[in-house]
Amino acid sequence: MFRPGAPLEEIEQDVEAMIIELVHKLGRLADSDPEQVGASDRAYIKAFSDAESNSDTDQGALLATAVGRPNLAESLIYLNRRLDQDNLDPGQPTGVIGVIVRLAMDGLWVSDILDATRFDARERARIMNLLTALTRVSDDQLKAMLGAPAAKPRGLDKPA
């Protein structure tokens, strides 16, 4: 992707093209998921689940360039903001799980860039399986996990 001594404009074009292709890949993966609810989040997991490709030098360069020039990552930023807006809709309590899953995958991606050997295959599969399972949690399951607010014991709300 980045050739040694490439002019900045060429590097910027490469970064922007990579990010646009990633956004398209996410769309294709989500569209191919037979279960619509959580499909975008499972696509995100799949797209960022390969430690080897996450840790290659192009990904490190991509991260450094995108941090230094966020305008190049506009398509991914827009996608995440659109998904966040949908996920943070109060009418859909489990939507927030999508935000958490994507943040976890972003963290795993950066972790892979820094140390691709941090998790062995078994540990990584366990992480991916849990994140994928979270994308299928229903509103009722989330309410049960969080528990109902504890009721005050009777008589404790009166002055002594």
Residues of the chain with pLDDT under 50: 150-151, 160
Q: Are 40 and 30 in contact (CB under 8 A)?
A: yes
Domains defined along the chain, listed by start: 8-138 (1.10.357.10)
Helix residue spans in 8-48 (DSSP H): 8-32, 39-47
Q: What are the structure tokens assigned to 5, written together?
A: 């001594």
Question: For position 156, what pLDDT does the model report?
Answer: 54
pLDDT digits (tens, 9 = 90+) for 69-104: 888 788 888 888 998 998 898 888 888 999 999 999
